[in-house]
Amino acid sequence: MSKRPLILVTNDDGITAPGILTLIEVMETLGDVVVVAPDSPQSGMGHAITINSVLHLDKVSKKGDKTQQYSCSGTPADCVKIAINEVLDRRPDLCVSGINHGSNSSINVIYSGTMSAAVEAGIEGIPAIGFSLLDYSWDANFKASKKYVRQIAENALKHGMAEGVVLNVNIPNLKEKDIKGIKICRQARANWKEKFDKRKTPQGRDYFWLTGEFVNYDKGTDTDEHALAEGHISVVPVQFDLTAHHYIQQLNTWHFEQ
């Protein structure tokens, strides 16, 4: 009898976040689950790794628990690295990250700890998916996400994924009956217009809170932002080869002295 798939679960909101608890519950229906997630929120960490301090890894599940769970003092990317090298006894068949509290569509994928964990797994040759719900609140309702999260993960296990590609999945904050289904998309061309809220400490030292406005410059109907606005779940295949292949020929026309 073949082994059940081994699924690594991680996130960036921390091991106690409601989103990861939902993701664990869904993945347990598909395979054997091991969780390695940050011991505290790591949102916006991108693909940072810990090299200037030690990492701590603590097993938080108890003997007899259905799922092994470990909390890590590092970043989401650290969690995937340490899971593969120190925790798992075989390579996972799938890595899922999330479910993130808040959007990781469009340019947000660059800053996302959720997606960076998935990308780290992809770099290791493991099929990987990052899931996000467009609700930033801690008590977000993930019930409507479950069916679609399961479908997407099930398809990844069944069909496999291309080398060098991970999936960025964003789910609109709607009731299940109002979600129009899944749409395969491209990343919208958008950006943040940053603002810094400048304040002073009682001692007179300046400090800043980063704020900003998300601006979508893309009018295309095939983007993740458009799909989400129309009530669809967006699925964007993301590659981590950042080479601008189309520009290599142009660069070769530049003159460099020997």
> Residue ranges for the binding site for a divalent metal cation?
12-13, 43, 100
CA-based torsion, 121, 123, 124, 125: positive or negative: positive
The structure tokens listed for 113 are 């700890």
| Dist. CA 37–CA 7, nearest whole Å | 13
Residues annotated in the binding site, as ranges? 12-13, 43, 100
| Dist. CA 187–CA 108, nearest whole Å | 10
The structure tokens listed for 10 are 């991680």
Helix (H) or strand (E) holding 233, with range, is strand 233-239
Task: Name the pairing type of β-strands 233-239 and 182-184.
Answer: parallel
Cα-atom radius of gyration of the chain, to the nearest Å? 20
The structure tokens listed for 3 are 């082994």
Unique residue bearing structure tokens 């304040």: 199
The type of residue at 217 is Y
DSSP 90: S
Helix (H) or strand (E) holding 33, with range, is strand 32-38
23 in Cβ contact with 66 (< 8 Å): no
> Cis ω on the peptide bond leading into residue 99 (within 30° of 0)?
yes
